[in-house]
Amino acid sequence: MSDETDGTGGDCSEFSRRTMLGGIAGTVGVPFWLEFERDSLGTTGVRRDQTSGDSDEGLRAPIPPAPDDPFLITQYGDQYFTVPSVNGWVPVSHRERLRTIQRFHPDTVDWDSVMSFDEGDIRTYKSQNAQLAFSLETGLPGTVARNVTINIPNDDAAEKYQAVFDAYDWRFPDGTPVEHPKGLLAEQFDGTPHSIEYTFETNGVPSVFAPGAADILMYVARKKLSAGYSSFWIDGIGPFRVHGLDFSVWARDAFRTHLESLSADHRQELGIDDPASFDIRGHLRDEGLTPTDGSDPFEDPVFREYLLHQHQGIKEFFSTCRERLHELFPERMDAGDIKLTGNHYMGYFGHPQAANVYVSDYLDFVHLEHFPRVDPPIDYHYKLARAIGRFSKPTTAKGTLASQRAKLDGFDPEEQYPNFKRFQIAESYAMGARMKIPLTSGAAYRDEHTLTNWIRADGTVPERLQSFVDFLWTHERFLDDIDSDTRVAVVWSLPTVLWNHEPQWDVGQQGDSPRLESFVGTTTLLREAQIPYDVLVFGHPRLWDDGDQLERLREYDAVVLPNLDSVTDAQLTALETYLDDGGHVVTSGTPPSRDAMYEPRDDTATVFEHDRATVLSDDPGSVKNQRGKTTGELRDTLESADVQSVTDVDDQTLSVSRHVQSDPDRVVVHVLNYEYTVETDTFDTKTDVSLSIPKPDFTVEAARYYSPTGSTDLSVTVDRQKVGVTVPELTDWGFVVLVPSADALVNADAEANAREQIATVKNELATTKDEVREFADAFVSAEVYHDAAETALEANAYGKAFDAAQTASEKLSEAHRPPVVGIDMSHTQELTFDDDDPFAPLRDTFSQYDFRMLDSWSESELDELDILVVPPALAFRRAQFLFLEEEVEAAESFVEDGGSLLVLARGGVDDGIDVLTETFGFRFQGRPVVFPEGERRQVEPTHPDHLLTRGVSEITFQLGTPIAERPAESTVLASIPEDSDAWFHQERPLQSRSDAEGSAAGSDMYVTASHGDGRVTLFGMHSYHLLPDWLRNVEKVVSNQLSVLGSEAVRAKRSSQEATTTPNGTQSSTADPSQTDTTDSATQPATANSESATSTPGFSFTSGALTGVTALLTGWLWHRSDDDD
């Protein structure tokens, strides 16, 4: 049967559906001939009220809250989830993914799913749907993203973004409508649109003053955060400044509005009399300050005001995004369950943007994109990011090294570099940041083109990488909740960056920024001299308040100002106070000679001519990354301020950083080895590395050195103000922990409980296998957590060991046998299908289920099932259900006893199906739904967090049929949009609507409700269960139905069995003899006799079923297809 068959007649058009059924009316006792014809229903054939039963809280999959400070984060994975496999990757099963990813111990999974648009709306790939489903199933928060740029293809870009155009009414400042995305773009001085060339496409950069810039982002955020993602990542802060100033109509109009808001005195200073008619481009032409004139525009106050206003516009853009997220999700935002992040792109640090600093107050994390190698080191990236986050927000990072997008500097992308990959991550943790672990790379990259994949193309993880992740996880107690503890700070000046970067005028471009080189050179000299340092950010009064940074000055013995040229009044005052209180200021280049607005200033003598202020004659930037010169003016000056190296080793490839912890008190000193050989992927081992560390506030009685290869107790020497230890061997990374007693290293009191819990889980695993309850994916998760507990125990991480073992035990309690699925073919359904065995693909794809093809119904046959699937009998194919009264009674008894009934239909279904469904309060409409040409046939789920629609982005209902009536206590899972132009097909031709054909808008297409201890679900698009390629999300829709309905039914039946078991373990006279599960009740859900039945709208069930569904709510996995959609 073709799915395009309209269902109105064909060869049997002379038969009405009622006529065909009239002969059996007496059989089931229903007066069919008295009912009105469905053919005349039009729009009245669908019950529209959805207010009474849409909650169904019992089957909701809660969206995992995004953690405040995730410790381990995985990233990417698109190729790993793509089916069929692409770019050389080998397909893996869902259980293999589950086992592999959970072994990374992630707190969150950043899929790097950057959403794009196609065919009028958001384009979502199958792999992205599978990744979201994985997040919801495991309870691991997922991240979704949208790039700020707009792809404008050669064809109709307006059609590409049609859904967004329909959602918003964008108008130019003169009131005319925006009819094309190009109208939203920023423009250079000459009118050329701002654009960025990415690896695979060129995108336009919108103006931050155009309404569409934020609208497009929020359109994606609303849909995807509602669907189950926990974080929204705005991919792009820097793009708004890649081409510098924006001269679009949006920016020029916004500037005129800004000028009108200024005081008359300020406008007079700018020389602007009529702000409403002011033209910035005309002004710059008149002053000879255009990009082609060759003059310095920064001397012009109007130019500076225009530049500063644009930076304020970028800041306001990110503020607006956060405010609108709060409007969309007030409860989740108030609770901190949604995190907003941006891309603080630093790349190779060639042109870091001022915006990286001032947008940070509206973001929850400071997230870097860069491309770390071993050499050159990028420690200053992380230190700057921590300062931007005010030393309180988490710093995360990502970076793909692939041959398509980066210079690989001697690396061969076809080789594996496990030591290099480990060091990328180690460097970030040593600096108090979190480099995300890349499962794979970007979606378009092949495995052999990328250096940084942690999962190989065959789906395996090298043991050297796995053991490194285990080391991080088991030593989290030393790597988390840390504060930097250094004696010197290097200043990053926002005003200096602000007034020294403008691309259209070729100011401050990559490779031509002496102030940037001075900053990097200073940090290089400090690192190579083993002098731990922090970065502080000096802000701007109209962009970023730096009061907290200035307050931190007093924590340092010395502060270095590398080639600053602008300093604010507040910064100057703070430096003067700092000097008077005994601090030391070191500056390179000439002292700052400009204020916050780039006006000349001559009042800096009190700071830079102070006794404890030093102006270096050499610029540290001149020796940037030139190893072998760690002496000189800077180091001598710092030593006079009592800032000294923590080692006497003259080794520029050694780096040391120092952190402190409290509760318990600990000092953690990281050592990194930058002496790396690319060709062999090896580090030259350093031995007997002596460290001399400033004495902490406590007496050091014990020290231990930890590295991925093991731990070693160290001897401690105390000499006046220093604590001395010697690291016996440094390969790539390790850290020394100084503590007041050995108890601060290991919580020995927790060891006994951890061992006991692990032993318990080991026995439970064996019992579960013996009882053949390994079907649920919860069993796989339990094995992973048990293994993790053993790993933590071996590392003396007893708290983690106990928690992992406890989680394993909880998951095991939800393991169960495979559900039995019966497919009814006993009611003339064979006439519906052209294929002799239409459900063979279903059985083959989901072979883990026990399928039974039913050629008859009886109570005993149904008792053996967990799910009863009833496919449609199509009237226009002369098929009739002809249900017998005893069959309907058997089905009702089956559901009331905990079974799950799944009824499938489509347009033209024989209305004899109502004999069955009306028993449970349902009735199908019967007519096919037709969507007009050009309207999307895909419908988004009403409740994306419902277990039955979890991970399903959309469902196709072309020629499906709605549910006309449903119980009050039912949940609508999908319905035709209220504004749809779809109709109920009644007269030919199919795609042409007549006046007699009523609207299908608002029709319920997918509904579920509990009944007794079981569940009834109606799905108005049976083609999904034939698994055709043309339907979207086909396997995911069916997988959810089989797994959720099957698991619920198995648990309900097990609960019923336990309720009829006597205290001595024998069955009572009412027990079902077919149930042989003898699981120890002490580890199972409470029985129905001991706890009253529980009910929520749309879902009422006994305690056993409630416990099972609670497991689903907390993310337990039920076995799905090996080839996910």
Phi then psi for 533, rounded to 5 degrees? -145, 160
- Distance CA(465)–CA(90), nearest Å, equals 20
Asked if the model's pLDDT at residue 21 lies above 50, the reply is no
- Express each pLDDT in 261-293 by its tens digit: 999 999 999 999 999 999 999 999 999 999 999
Nearest of 823, 813, 894 to residue 1074 by alpha carbon: 894
Ranges 405-414, 490-499, 855-864, 956-965: which has the least confidence: 405-414
Q: Write down the pLDDT at residue 1072.
A: 38
Phi then psi for 276, rounded to 5 degrees? -65, -25
Q: Write down the pLDDT at residue 419.
A: 97
Asked if the model's pLDDT at residue 64 lies above 80, the reply is yes
Query: Is residue 141 helix, strand or coil?
Result: coil
Checking DSSP bridges between strand 850-854 and strand 820-824, what pairing results, if any?
Answer: parallel
Phi then psi for 218, rounded to 5 degrees? -70, -25
Nearby residues of 712 by Cβ (< 8 Å), 6 or more positions away: 704, 705, 728
- Express each pLDDT in 177-220 by its tens digit: 999 999 999 999 999 999 988 766 789 999 999 999 999 999 99
Cα-based angle 146, 147, 153 (whole degrees, multiple of 5): 110
DSSP per residue, 144-210: EEEESSEE--SS-HHHHTHHHHHH---B-TTSPBP-SGGGGB-B-TTSPBPEEE-SS-EEEPBPTTS
Please name the helix (run of DSSP H) or strand (run of DSSP E) that holds residue 114, with its range, or none.
Answer: strand 108-114
Phi then psi for 914, rounded to 5 degrees? -65, -25
- Distance CA(834)–CA(847), nearest Å, equals 23
Q: Write down the pLDDT at residue 1003.
A: 96
User: Is there a contact between 751 and 745 (Cβ–Cβ < 8 Å)?
Assistant: no
Nearest of 459, 450, 333, 336 to residue 403 by alpha carbon: 450
User: Is there a contact between 35 and 923 (Cβ–Cβ < 8 Å)?
Assistant: no
User: Is there a contact between 912 and 1006 (Cβ–Cβ < 8 Å)?
Assistant: no
- Distance CA(563)–CA(624), nearest Å, equals 14
Query: Is residue 725 helix, strand or coil?
Result: strand
User: Is there a contact between 671 and 733 (Cβ–Cβ < 8 Å)?
Assistant: yes
- Distance CA(384)–CA(537), nearest Å, equals 8
73: β partners: 108
Average pLDDT, the chain: 86
- Express each pLDDT in 1042-1086 by its tens digit: 999 999 999 888 777 766 554 444 444 433 333 333 333 332 333
Band of the pLDDT at 160, cuts 50, 70, 90?
Answer: confident
More confident residue, 338 or 772: 338
Where do the H-state alpha helices sit in 771-912? 777-794, 798-812, 840-845, 859-863, 885-896
Please name the helix (run of DSSP H) or strand (run of DSSP E) that holds residue 269, with its range, or none.
Answer: helix 264-270
- Distance CA(326)–CA(232), nearest Å, equals 12
938: β partners: 956
Please name the helix (run of DSSP H) or strand (run of DSSP E) that holds residue 698, with its range, or none.
Answer: none
Ranges 8-22, 224-238, 718-732: which has the least confidence: 8-22
User: Is there a contact between 359 and 335 (Cβ–Cβ < 8 Å)?
Assistant: no
Phi then psi for 221, rounded to 5 degrees? -60, -45
- Distance CA(576)–CA(585), nearest Å, equals 9
Could you say which DSSP state residue 1099 is in?
A: E
Band of the pLDDT at 1093, cuts 50, 70, 90?
Answer: very low
Band of the pLDDT at 45, cuts 50, 70, 90?
Answer: very low
- Distance CA(282)–CA(274), nearest Å, equals 14
User: Is there a contact between 127 and 1124 (Cβ–Cβ < 8 Å)?
Assistant: no
Nearest of 1010, 1011, 1017 to residue 1041 by alpha carbon: 1017
Q: How far is CA 41 from the centre of its chain?
A: 45
Checking DSSP bridges between strand 73-75 and strand 121-123, what pairing results, if any?
Answer: unpaired
User: Is there a contact between 148 and 235 (Cβ–Cβ < 8 Å)?
Assistant: yes
| Torsion region of 208: left, alpha or beta (phi above 0 gives left; psi -120 to 50 gives alpha) | alpha
Checking DSSP bridges between strand 963-965 and strand 971-975, what pairing results, if any?
Answer: unpaired
Asked if the model's pLDDT at residue 778 lies above 50, the reply is yes
613: β partners: 585
Q: Write down the pLDDT at residue 1095.
A: 31
Token digits of residue 314: 């970028």
Average pLDDT over residues 1093-1100: 32
User: Is there a contact between 670 and 706 (Cβ–Cβ < 8 Å)?
Assistant: no
974: β partners: 941, 1006
Q: Write down the pLDDT at residue 39.
A: 34
Nearest of 269, 276, 310, 315 to residue 504 by alpha carbon: 310
Q: What is the CA radius of gyration of the chain?
A: 34
Asked if the model's pLDDT at residue 776 lies above 80, the reply is yes
- Express each pLDDT in 616-664 by its tens digit: 987 877 654 444 454 578 888 999 898 999 998 889 999 999 999 998 9
Nearest of 658, 703, 622, 721 to residue 530 by alpha carbon: 658
DSSP per residue, 1060-1076: TB-TTS-B-TTS-TT--
Where do the H-state alpha helices sit in 661-797? 751-770, 777-794
Query: Is residue 503 helix, strand or coil?
Result: helix
- Distance CA(623)–CA(630), nearest Å, equals 9
DSSP per residue, 605-663: HHHHTSTTEEEESS-GGGGTT-TT---SHHHHHHHHTT---S-----TTEEEEEEEETT
Query: Is residue 370 helix, strand or coil?
Result: strand
Asked if the model's pLDDT at residue 222 lies above 60, the reply is yes
- Express each pLDDT in 94-150 by its tens digit: 999 999 999 999 999 999 889 998 878 888 888 888 898 899 889 999 999 999 999
Nearest of 888, 862, 855, 872 to residue 24 by alpha carbon: 888
492: β partners: 537
Asked if the model's pLDDT at residue 714 lies above 80, the reply is yes
Q: Write down the pLDDT at residue 348.
A: 59
* End-to-end C-alpha distance for the chain, whole angstroms: 24
How distant, in Å, are the alpha carbons of 14, 38, 984, 988 from that of 45?
Answer: 23, 7, 10, 20
In 404-433, which positions are buried (b, 16+ CB within 10 angstroms) versus exposed (e)?
A: ebbeeeebebeeebebbbbbbbbbbbbbbb
Q: How far is CA 1106 from the centre of its chain?
A: 29
Task: Please identify which residue in the block is written with the tokens 């469902």.
Answer: 955
- Distance CA(894)–CA(35), nearest Å, equals 28
Phi then psi for 776, rounded to 5 degrees? -65, 145
Task: Work out whether the CA dihedral 552, 557, 562, 568 comes out positive or negative.
Answer: positive
- Express each pLDDT in 719-752 by its tens digit: 888 999 999 999 999 999 999 999 999 988 999 9
Average pLDDT over residues 496-521: 83
Q: Write down the pLDDT at residue 509.
A: 61
User: Is there a contact between 51 and 990 (Cβ–Cβ < 8 Å)?
Assistant: no
Q: Write down the pLDDT at residue 602.
A: 92
Asked if the model's pLDDT at residue 594 lies above 80, the reply is yes
Q: Write down the pLDDT at residue 197.
A: 83
- Distance CA(521)–CA(524), nearest Å, equals 5
User: Is there a contact between 944 and 227 (Cβ–Cβ < 8 Å)?
Assistant: yes
369: β partners: 345, 398
Query: Is residue 980 helix, strand or coil?
Result: coil
Q: Write down the pLDDT at residue 837.
A: 93
1010: β partners: 1015
Token digits of residue 354: 């001022």
- Distance CA(240)–CA(258), nearest Å, equals 19
- Express each pLDDT in 436-477 by its tens digit: 999 998 777 787 888 899 999 999 999 999 999 999 999 999
How distant, in Å, are the alpha carbons of 878, 885, 988 from that of 15?
Answer: 9, 25, 16
